[in-house]
Structure 1
Amino acid sequence: MKKRIIGLSTCGEKDLSLKGFQLYADNGIGAMEISVSADAHKQLDCAALRHNAAETGVQLWSYHLPFEPFEANDISSLNERIRRISIDLQKGLLEKAAALGCRKAVIHPSGEPLDEAERAARLEQAKKSLSVLAAFAAGAGLQLAVENLPRTCLGRNAGEILSLLQADERLGLCFDTNHLLGESTEFFLHRCASRIVTIHVSDYDYRNERHWLPGEGKIDWPLVACMLETAGYRGPWLYEVGFETPPTIARDRALTYADFLRNAGEIFRGEAPAPLGTPLPNLPHWSGA
């Protein structure tokens, strides 16, 4: 895989001040996805963030639209009032993403848990919402990217993702590497790779999402990188991994920017990245229920 820009999500409460942007730049992180808590979206200062990006050269690549609280923010809701409120909420934040100069906006097609008996109806509701939001995003100069999701969420496999993307030809796919629980990464990419416009990179054990550093789980990273390259993905290699050690893995220390650069370099060279942590035994398993 050719070397590309390394990106990092701001998930985990990363610093959005000028100092935080400078840390990205000084450590070779060239792109950022704005991903904050539901409440923090209201406090974002677009002018300040654009200034910080311009000063440091860090690209504001993508904006992760909020997906909580599920009961009041779900574009697949069967309650039309909630669905329309959710669309209006996302429209307002798409305007914020455009004001930041982001290229992509990432959206979850549903909340969870979903009743399997409602799944088909919710899929249609989500498609109606995505059709509206894709047009709105395009008008604001953005591309909306639908994220594949785990467990009972919509978009948990290639068939559902491709169905959702049929809502509007302008929609793209945000490929989250640690969300596939019912089919293999290779199968998913064979079917969907051509629609990928941005990625969330992290590793897992195929039992549930974990957001570990690549090499700490079971993903075949040289294969994933090769398939993305072959499919023509040219966006940032964007990690959705926090610095602090999650409760599902044992590490000797918190991660550093250097760890992400080393990890990406190994993957770009076609190597299996070296793990920094060891998964803990007896982790909860997603049962599919």
Structure 2
Amino acid sequence: MSRRPAQAQRATTRRGEKPKPRGTARRPQRAGIVDQAIAGLPISPETLHKVTTWSIVGAVGAVVLTVGILAGVPQMIGVGMAQAVGDAGLRVDEIQIDGLKRMDRATVYEQVLDQDSRAMPLVDLGDVRARLLKFPWVKDARVSRRLPHTLHIYIDERVPAAIWQNHGRLMLIDADGVALEPVSAEAMPDLPLMIGDGANLQEAARKRLLDTQPGLKPLVKATSWVGNRRWDLFFTSGEKLQLPEGEVAAAAALKRFAAIDAAQRLLGRGNLGFDMRDESKLVVRRQGVIEAPQPAAPAPAPGPVLAPASGAPAAAPASAGIGQGEG
């Protein structure tokens, strides 16, 4: 008799209890949130899966290589691991090159592809950069990996500043005098012409000299570095100006020549050349004669062009053409 009321009481208690929510009731809601988040991404689920796979493979590969190096694993095992990572998808399938304007793009590709393996971990970035720096056009280069399969190369290319004529050969050079590549006389770009042994290494000095006289600079069609010590200037009107040795003396002489030309118009009047190697005078050369020296003066007064000096020695007809120059 005592058991039946207890059982009835337990049964009543169970019937009176409120039903507890089942633990699986919220699972569809959580799954729906994830699905909505994935659907909101700007990439397809297939692409997301690939990116996730490549990221995991790359991370695992990096950890394996790092642990192998720290643990002293033989190099062959490390290379094998890296090759396995490459076989899994981390391979150089694309080469992106930026900064090229004049250098042959195929040359850059050759230096990158000349590797023992195309596996991304085995591409020696330092070796690729060192190879590229051997080419004259390359001033600097940066090489980096862009996982999963792109190698990015940025070339800091040299800029042509002048044309160097030496022993009949024409060569493009940059502002530092680095010879870039030969150029034909028929395809010469509109750049300053420099002549003589070692003239390429004087490009900065040539620019400084002509920049002191911006009015004369457009009239100079070529400069000749003579005897590795001084300049001859060739003007578009055909004359040659011989300057003294030394950067300061040459700049002072050119300044004086510009002042005399402004006052007396030396250029474009049939003169063959002007000699200012002696800083105290200006000698004007004409066909068959040498005119009297012009006294040194910072600002000569306007007047007629110098008259021939009495008893001045006759000079053989000189050529105003461009050459290697004389000492």
Tell me which interval the TM-score lies in, with the shorter structure as reference length: under 0.3
Say which structure is richer in strand: 2
Higher relative contact order (CA 8 A, sep 6+): 1
Q: Give the structure with higher Rg (CA).
A: 2
